[in-house]
A and B are shown apart, each in its own frame.
Chain A
Amino acid sequence: MSVSAYQAPARADAAVIFDGVSKHFPGSGKSDGFTALDNVSLSVGRGSITGIIGRSGAGKSTLIRLVNGLEKPTGGKVLVDGVDVGALDEAGLRELRRSVGMIFQHFNLLSSRTVFDNVALPLEIAGMNKSAIEKRVRPLLDLVGLADKHGRYPSELSGGQKQRIGIARALSTEPKLLLSDEATSALDPETTQSILELLKRINADLGLTVLLITHEMEVVKAVTSDVAVIDHGRIVERGHTFDVFTHPKHETTRAMLSGLPGSKLPDAVSRALKPQAVAGDRAVVRLTFFGAAAERPLISQLIKSVGAEVNIIAGTIDEIGGRPYGSLVVAYRADAETAGRAERFFTENGLVTEVLGYVA
C-alpha cells in the first residue's frame, strides 16, 4: 500500500486557515521576547477532527487561542470561515466567539452555578430569554448524558462529568467549530476515551469541525482524521492521521510516537541497540502493515522466505482513524544474504519497514 500524497483542504473547504501566522511575545524589561509561533500555515478541513500535537511549550495553546482571537497574531492571518480574525474589532470578536465553542483542560466551570446554569451561561451572555435557554439546555444535557445532574454544582461532579458539562456549554450557542485545548489531559485513560467518543459522536452527528490540541498521541490516534505536529513554534509534519502514524517523517513525530504502547521496545533490547552491525549481529526491524496485509499469515511466510530464525520483539494491532494497522518489531541475522531475502519479502508484501538498529 502506498501513502496517498497529502492534500491540504482547499480554501473553500477549510473551517480555519492559518496563513503564515507568527506570534511574538514582547519581552518585559531585561528578558528578550519569545517567538511562540513562527510562520505557521495550516488549514483545518470543514467537518474534520483535526489534531495539533506537540510537546509542552511548542506553541499549541497560543495557536488555538488565535482562532477565537484570545490572542492576536504578530504576523500573518487567521481566517475562520473566511473571516480575518485579526481585522475584527471587539464587537466583531465577540460575535465570532459566540459561533466558536471552546473547552479547556481544567474545565473552567463556574463553581457558583449549577450544571444547568453553567451550560446556560453563553446563552445568557448572548441575551437569550429564559424559556429559549431552557429549550436549548435540556437537550444538550441529554446529549452529554447528564440530564439528571442539572441542579448539581460542579464540585459534586467527577472530572469526566465536568468536561461533559464543558462540552455541553461549548455547544450551547450551536457553534460550527469547537476548539479543544488539552480537554482530556486532566482525565484518566478510561474517562479520556469516553470524552473522545463523545467528541467523535458530536462531530459525526452535528457536522461540527473540531480542532483539538494535545500532547498525547493516544488522543490523536483515537479521534482525529488529520494531524499536524508542532515543534518550537513550527509545523514540522502534516497529514492524514493514519499516514503520519504509519510513516512518521520528522524526528519529533517519531519521538512522540515511540511513547505509544506497542511501539515501545523492551528496555533490554533498546539498551543493547547499536547503530552499526558487526559480523554475527541481528537486525532489529519494525514492520508496519495495514489493509489486506494485516490478514495474511505473515509471520510463517516471513520465516519461510527468510529461511532463518526470526524473533518477535514487540507487536501491536491497532486502529487509527478507523483503519486497522499492525506494527511488529522482529530481529533476524543481519548478513547480506538473509537481509536481502527479507527485504524482497517485505517489498513483495507491501510492508513498510524501518531498521531500528542492531543487536549482538
Chain B
Amino acid sequence: MSPDILLKIWGATLDTLYMVAAAGLIGSLIGGPIGIFLATSGKGELFPAPMTNRIVGLIVNAARSTPFIILVVAIIPFTRLLTGTSIGTKAAIVPLTIATIPFVARLVEAAIREIDKGLIEAARAMGATPMQIVFKVLLAEARPALTMALTMTAVSLIGYSAMVGAVGGGGLGDLGIRYGYQRFMPDVMLVVVIVLIVLVQIVQSAGDGLARRFDRRSRKN
C-alpha cells in the first residue's frame, strides 16, 4: 500500500471522527432535552402535557423509522441551505445530526423512565421544583444509563457516517467506496473496515468503563 493511500486513510479517519463528534454533540444537545421532555410530560408527571407528549412522540417515531439513506437524500435541499453544498464532510453532518436527534431522544427517555418513581416522590416531598428534580435526581441517577446511551449513539454514528460515504459524504465510508469498491482495491477496503472496527471497540469500551464508574448501584468497585 502506498504512503499516499495511507495518508488518505488517516485523513478519512479524522473526517469520520469529526462527523461523528459534531453530529453526536449537536444531536445530543437537541435530542437529550427532547428525551427528557418525553420522559416527564405524560399525564400526572413532572411537566404534564400529554397532548404535546404524544405529538412529539409521533414525530420522533416517524424520524426513527425513516431509513437513513432515504433521509440523506430527502433532506438534500435543507442540507444545501445550511451548508451551501450537498457533498463532503460538512454536508454529511446535517443528515447525521437529524438522525441522531430522535435516536438520542428515545434512549434518554428510556434511561430516565428506568429511575425508581420513589425517588421522584421523595424529592417532591422535600419541596424540590420540577427542574430541581430533573437535574438533581433524574439526570444524576440516570448517569450510567445516559453514558451507555451516548456510547450507543456514537457507535451507531460511526456506522451511519460510513453510509453517507455512499452518497459522497466523505470519511472512511467514502474512501472505502471510491478506492476499495470503484477502483477495486480490496486491501484499502480491508483497512477501512479494520479502522472502523477499532474505532467502535474503543468507543464502546470507553463508554462501558465510564458507565461502570458512574454506577453506584452495586457493591462492586
Binding site for B on A (CB under 8 A): 68, 70, 93-98, 100, 102, 104, 106, 108, 110-113, 121-122, 124-126, 153-156, 173, 179
Contacts and interface: CB of A to CB of B under 8 A. Distances in A.
A113 B141 CA distance: 8
A272 B175 CA distance: 90
Given A94-B127, A104-B121, A121-B123, 7 more contacts: A94-B128, A97-B125, A97-B127, A100-B125, A106-B116, A122-B127, A124-B136
B26 interface: no
19 contacts: A70-B125, A93-B127, A97-B126, A98-B127, A102-B122, A106-B116, A106-B118, A108-B116, A110-B141, A111-B216, A112-B140, A112-B141, A112-B216, A122-B127, A125-B127, A125-B136, A126-B127, A155-B216, A156-B219
A155 B136 contact: no
Given A108-B119, A110-B137, A125 B126 contact: yes
Nearest to A156: B219
A155 B127 contact: no
Given A108-B122, A112-B140, A94 B129 contact: yes
Q: From DSSP, what is the main secondary structure of chain B's interface residues?
A: helix
A201 to B, nearest CB: 22
B80 interface: no
Among A70, A96, A153: residue with most chain B CB under 10 A? A153
Contacts of A156: 219
B124 interface: yes
Interface string B131-146: 0100011001101000
A212 B216 CA distance: 30
Contacts of B2: none
A188 B216 CA distance: 25
A121 B136 contact: yes
B214 interface: yes
Nearest to B117: A108
A27 to B, nearest CB: 14
Nearest to A98: B127
B126 A108 contact: no
B218 interface: yes
Nearest to B216: A153
